[in-house]
Every structure is written in C-alpha cells, then in structure tokens.
Amino acid sequence: MKEKLHTQRHSALKRFEIIAAALNGLTLIIISIYIFVEAYQRFTDPPEVQSMGMLTISVIGLIVNIIAAWILMGGDKDENLNVRSAFLHVLGDMLGSVGAITAALLIYFFGWGLADPIASVAVAVLIIISGWRVTKESFHVLMEGTPQEIELDEVKDEIMKIPEVKDVHDVHVWSITSGVLMLSGHIAVEGEGAHDRVLHKAQRLLHDRFGIDHSTSGRRGRAWVPMRAWALQLIKQVSS
C-alpha cells in the first residue's frame, strides 16, 4: 500500500511539472497579447519616451535575463518541458530587453518614436510563437497523446516478433512527463505457462530495441511490467 501511494505521489509530482509548463506557456501568450495591446495604443497615441531612462532599465534587465538564461541552459531544456518553458519565458524577457534597447537608441539618435511600438510587436510575435508551442506540447502530454517520436505500429511489430505472441492490440503510449513514457497494451500469449517467458523476452526486446531499463512482477496469470520508461501488461493467455 505504501509503495502504491509513493508511486501515485511520484506520478502526480511528475504531472505537476507539465501543468507548470502549460501555465508558463499560457502566461507567455497572455504577455504577448498585452504587448500587442500596448503597442496598438502607442501607435494610435504615441507617448513621449524618456529614451535614456528606457535604455538604462533595458540594459539592466538584459543583464539579469542573460544570467537567468545561462543558469537554465545548465538544465535539461531539450528534454524537460518545464525547464524549456522557463527558458523560453526568460528568452522572451531577453528579447523584450533587446527590443527596448534598440528602440531607445533609435529614439535617442533619430527621434523615431514609432521604433518603440514596432519593436514591441516584433518581440510579441516571437513570444506568442514560443508560448503556443509550449502550451500545445504541454496539453498534448496532459491529454495523454502519443509522443511524436513513437510509432505504435513499430512497437507492435517488434513485440509480434516474439514467437509466443499471437496478437498485440489496444496499445497506447503516452507521457507522464518529459522523457518518461508509459505503454499499456494487450498481448495474447500462445501456450500454457508462457507468460514469464514472454515477459522476459519483451523486457529484453524493449531494452535492446529502445534502450529501456525495467523491473517485473507477476500476479494471478497477469504480468505487469513497470519500467523506467514503459509499462507493458500481459493479460491474456491462449492455449495452443
């Protein structure tokens, strides 16, 4: 019971990482919309801009964001969706600082007041694209969609190569968080007492073919394979 509760708590924490990434992505979209609104108001009614003050604040913000981005680059931003969303958030702030610096210089040297809203629109476009990608990927994980790198037909074909396997169906692959995949499916096993043998072969196949580490446990003719990245369920045995 304690082990089950620990597993459920661990899975919930892993899912929370994706929820945080989704919220981060939505925040980026909201920020970009706000920037669009502000830019529109500056186009229609350009305010007087204190270019030197704007330049000073933007440079300070850029330095802070560069430090934050450097720290986040040490994380697994390629595999961890939450780290990637945080990195994109900081990157969006960094782009905002660069845009503000560019606009401040154009205003200071050339008096071009429209540089501010134009730079804002350009930054907002980049931010909303990043936010949409993170949000879309996060909701795909939360809705337990099949990861893009997984081909279900390939998984079925590999399992069907095991001699004792008669049929593979109801295969579903999903992610509980970045880099942690789960697979459930039904395998019809041909021959009495073949469960353990098929289980062992399936483990080796998944390890050798997909580089997956795993452990096993069996119960009343039903074998459940909890793995580091996969879970395979053998639930049916067919006599030859």
pLDDT per position as a tens digit, 170-224: 878 787 777 677 777 777 777 666 777 787 787 777 667 765 543 333 333 333 3
Judge whether residue 229 has pLDDT over 70: no
Instruction: Give the CA distances from residue 167 to residues 17, 144, 170, 197, in Å, rounded to whole numbers and listed in that order.
Output: 36, 24, 10, 16
Dihedral of the CA atoms 62, 134, 86, 213 (nearest 10)? -140
Judge whether residue 226 has pLDDT over 50: no
Report all structural domains of the chain as residue ranges with CATH numbers, in order of start.
2-142 (1.20.1510.10), 152-238 (3.30.70.1350)
The Cα–Cα gap between 54 and 211 comes to 52
User: What predicted TM-score, i.e. pTM, was given to this entire model?
Assistant: 0.71
Q: Which residues contact 142 (CB under 8 A, 6 or more apart)?
A: 15, 18, 19, 22
Whole-number pLDDT of residue 9: 53
For residues 9 and 138, the model is more confident at 138
pLDDT per position as a tens digit, 47-70: 887 888 889 999 999 999 899 888
pLDDT per position as a tens digit, 68-85: 888 888 776 666 787 888
Whole-number pLDDT of residue 32: 93
CB 103 within 8 A of CB 50: no
80 class by beta-carbon count within 10 Å (0-12 exposed, 13-18 middle, 19+ buried): middle
Whole-number pLDDT of residue 185: 75
Q: Mutual orientation of helices 51-73 and 81-110 as an angle, nearest 10°?
A: 160
Judge whether residue 156 has pLDDT over 90: no
Whole-number pLDDT of residue 5: 43
Whole-number pLDDT of residue 218: 31
Whole-number pLDDT of residue 30: 94
For residues 155 and 19, the model is more confident at 19
Whole-number pLDDT of residue 69: 87
pLDDT per position as a tens digit, 2-50: 444 444 455 566 778 889 889 989 998 999 999 999 999 988 888 887 8
